Amino acid sequence: MSRRIVLLRHGRTAWNAERRIQGQLDVELDAVGVEQAQAVAPLVAALDPVLVWSSDLARARLTAETVAKEAGLEPSYDERLREFRLGDYQGLTHAELDARDPAAFARFQRGEWDDIPGAETTREVADRFAAAVTDLAAALGPGETGVAVSHGAATRSGLVAFLGWPAELAHDLRALGNCARVVLEQRSTGTWAIAAYNL
């Protein structure tokens, strides 16, 4: 009767395909992203979730709506599940940032984002994401499953914080694919464990 949480990344956007930095800019799913959401929805619905929470950004909202509809649920939206706000880098392609400042691009590639002008810190993102997932867990009864639809980088940092791991371990987790998911299960001790990653 362990509780379960599914962390689901949104489907693809045109900006993902262009390697353009989205951050908190509100970009819709492209046709591939819609297909990805439609393909993953029955897989998540088969876990019988009772709650679907989502980032309020459009790419996550549409993914969550597709999953929730398949599960016979209505999604709820929580801005704590948003992607990193990436300040001055939002809207730039990787190539544009590299051309503008190769050293800054190298730091960006390594996930060293705390010095980006106008960006959130990794700790701020991890704390807000982990708080949202903690609240989702608290809303689940014994044996119930909840879904949190979010974004790739925020999910990795928030997952590490939720599990109580050192923040730097987020860099050791592979980037999540579009509509890939992480499955967490609660142990009898009350702690949580990763049951699957990047499905």
> Can you list the positions of beta strands (E) in 24-144?
49-54, 76-77
Check if 151 is active-site.
no
> What pLDDT sits at residue 1?
77
* Residue 184: strand, helix, or coil: strand
pLDDT of residue 105: 97
- Identify the active-site residue in 18, 35, 74, 83: 83
What is d(CA 45, CA 145) in angstroms, rounded to the nearest whole number?
10
Q: What pTM does this model have?
A: 0.96
Which residue carries 């980088």 as its tokens? Answer: 153
Question: Residues 127-181: pLDDT tens digits?
Answer: 999 999 999 999 999 999 999 999 999 999 999 999 999 999 999 999 999 999 9
Sheet holding 192-196, edge to edge: 76-77, 49-54, 145-150, 4-9, 181-186, 192-196
Tell me: pLDDT of 116 over 90.
Answer: yes
| 63-96 pLDDT, tens digit each | 999 999 999 999 999 999 999 999 999 999 999 9
Catalytic residue, chosen from 10, 70, 120, 151, is 10
Known catalytic membership, residue 10: yes
Question: What percentage of the chain has pLDDT greater than the value 90?
Answer: 99
